Structure 1
């Protein structure tokens, strides 16, 4: 069996490699990034799942001696670790697939028999990453700087993860605080005073709940949906596209992203609180529409709703919900869901329907 080695992303120019959760022409790409030239026979929702599928198929190109990625996150790390440790990876395939899904899409389903173990491992990675290195998107706005700085993360976790995978409880003091936070939020999401309204034709779900919770808890109620309007007590709102619409999502068709900026302008025409509605670019990993969102860094936007202030709007909840539903119903009129939208198609569509 070939012995593979992790290399920094910058080295892939000279060394042909397996490229995980990233893109580069010099090697075999196993990535769910939109437009990535991943072989069709291993397409899946996460990059790690593609890697595991490729290992099972012994996909041509896996004989390359080097593995790389241009950023560190749970999905990419699981994919890289699996290529360097193929036998234990395939022995733990379902658990690793679940880790990648929770890490990337933040959809936790505690009914899955391995969800508890996956959550411990994901929270161990999250906590160690934040405490020993830096939080996601904190390296810099520059992808090049992240590609260089993430190497230390990979080296540490590639060395330590196998030990923790064998028994996550060895590291309980590391993960227990975040796991507890997730479970408390998960319980809140299933309380009677948390209300859901689903609009499957729009890919939209509206969640009314008392207070912000950890994303793994919040998005536990959003499986199968791509747009989330969260309405908290006191007329506090956030609207966001999930990461499911940034990647080439394989398991189901999706609608294309529509710019949220015209909706922000419409809300500003009604808002009397003194705050301003802002919307991120549709190419952001998880675009947010919120009051005073322009001051958030990428790191803050990526972080959990519990970590950012959510301002009170003058717009009543029922009116807010109706405005959002009407906006998407108008914009998506005549557009059918499909798999594998290209960014060119998405941008052209937004020009056609008007920003």
Structure 2
């Protein structure tokens, strides 16, 4: 496989290029888990980086001979995929670690029993800390009147030559990743303590977490592996429901249920809620739609940020009733729907039309 180099996304049509964690009609090869992406079937994976790592084991894949590699945004999964194509030998050597880093970065899930989990967390915390300190937060380009596909080039240019050293020896930059790492590990300790209870509703793909207060995602989502929705119940009747990113992409490892529009559920909760605040929800095509009690709409940056970084408001609905209402809504909505792989957005919208209002 010939040596490769990164190019800005806008240069895609000037030369044959591999597109990672993105889509484009001009790609010589697409390696992305986006819904409907043209990733070759043998290379499909839960993460885009996973598809890249599969491709490294299949060097005869048509299009893989292209020397240029690009992506239309910067995130951890896409970055790991781009880096792996530029550093194939090192990527193969560290494949299990890279897979954990990509999964934690995209799905915010990690099995803390995995011996590489702590290593992956340190690398992810370094990526997050440097991204925010040197550039801008995820989804922050529009606020700076810049296009993500153009602004993100600076991130790739800075991180690509530095990543290998940190991946193999993260202790050398502990001062950078330490603060976020400590905050997350404190959250993990709360999640694993008697203060937190977790209930699973596998028939609807829901994890319910009852814990004292909002936590970082890397801690909060740790018990939700294999589930696609999380209901967080915090002290003081503060609540948040979220569709995980696992249902925005095409998962390869398991079937999923389609996202359902939350109009009927929101109406029901607003009927039960005292009128001082209103329940709101994001559209089903958002990367991680939230259902929450709100005073005003959150920005995309706020929605993507950790739950402990955004305001939470007390509800007049009891914790027991809220859980019952949400479970009843999804049990009714999914009553005649079977989980499967590779839903199209059209099929997801059609499934949502059959949702019954809660009683």
Q: Distance in 2 between matches of 1:272 and 1:293?
A: 13
Counterpart in the other structure of 2:125: 123
Counterpart in the other structure of 1:278: 280
Tell me: CA distance 1:122–1:268, structure 2 relative to 1, closer, same or farther (3 Å). same
Q: Secondary structure at the match of 2:209?
A: strand
Q: Is the 8 A contact 2:198 2:209 kept in 1?
A: yes
Counterpart in the other structure of 1:239: 241
Deviations 1:174-220 (A, max 9, x none): 00111111111011011112111211100011111101111000000
Q: Secondary structure at the match of 2:167?
A: helix
Q: Is the 8 A contact 1:273 1:312 kept in 2?
A: no
Report how far residue 350 of structure 1 moved: 1.7
Q: Distance in 1 between matches of 2:51 and 2:43?
A: 5
Tell me: CA distance 1:212–1:37, structure 2 relative to 1, closer, same or farther (3 Å). same
Map of 1:333-344 to 2, 5 A cutoff?
333-344=335-346
Q: Is the 8 A contact 1:246 1:283 kept in 2?
A: yes
Q: Distance in 2 between matches of 1:48 and 1:143?
A: 29
Report how far residue 293 of structure 1 moved: 6.6
Q: Distance in 1 between matches of 2:234 and 2:355?
A: 31
Q: Distance in 2 between matches of 1:224 and 1:130?
A: 30
Matched residues, number: 355
Report how far residue 313 of structure 1 moved: 0.2
**Match for 2:165 among 149, 163, 166?**
163
Matched, 1:44 2:45: yes
Report how far residue 143 of structure 1 moved: 11
Deviations 1:84-134 (A, max 9, x none): 111111111111011000000001222111111111100000000000000
Q: Which runs of 5+ in 1 are unaligned?
A: none
Q: Distance in 1 between matches of 2:105 and 2:52?
A: 16
Q: Is the 8 A contact 1:48 1:79 kept in 2?
A: yes
Counterpart in the other structure of 2:184: 182
Report how far residue 352 of structure 1 moved: 3.8
Counterpart in the other structure of 2:15: 15
Q: Distance in 2 between matches of 1:344 and 1:141?
A: 30
Report how far residue 77 of structure 1 moved: 0.1
Q: Distance in 1 between matches of 2:54 and 2:154?
A: 27
**Match for 1:108 among 100, 103, 110?**
110
Q: Distance in 2 between matches of 1:314 and 1:167?
A: 49
Moved more, 159-168 or 230-239: 159-168
Q: Distance in 1 between matches of 2:94 and 2:311?
A: 39
Q: Distance in 1 between matches of 2:207 and 2:145?
A: 32
TM norm structure 1 = 0.97
Tell me: CA distance 1:339–1:141, structure 2 relative to 1, closer, same or farther (3 Å). farther
Q: Distance in 2 between matches of 1:172 and 1:227?
A: 33
Q: Is the 8 A contact 1:273 1:314 kept in 2?
A: no
Q: Please give the root-mean-square deviation of Cα atoms over the aligned residues, in Å.
A: 1.5
Q: Secondary structure at the match of 1:67?
A: strand
Q: Distance in 1 between matches of 2:160 and 2:66?
A: 19
Q: Distance in 1 between matches of 2:213 and 2:354?
A: 38
Q: Distance in 2 between matches of 1:130 and 1:260?
A: 32
Deviations 1:108-165 (A, max 9, x none): 2221111111111000000000000000011117998100100000000012112212
Q: Distance in 1 between matches of 2:88 and 2:118?
A: 23
Report how far residue 61 of structure 1 moved: 1.6
Tell me: CA distance 1:68–1:293, structure 2 relative to 1, closer, same or farther (3 Å). farther
Tell me: CA distance 1:47–1:102, structure 2 relative to 1, closer, same or farther (3 Å). same
Q: Is the 8 A contact 1:234 1:312 kept in 2?
A: yes
Q: Secondary structure at the match of 1:22?
A: coil
Q: Distance in 2 between matches of 1:123 and 1:7?
A: 26
Q: Distance in 2 between matches of 1:294 and 1:37?
A: 38
Matched, 1:289 2:291: yes
Q: Is the 8 A contact 2:239 2:292 kept in 1?
A: yes
TM norm structure 2 = 0.96
Moved more, 38-47 or 192-201: 192-201
Tell me: CA distance 1:273–1:233, structure 2 relative to 1, closer, same or farther (3 Å). farther
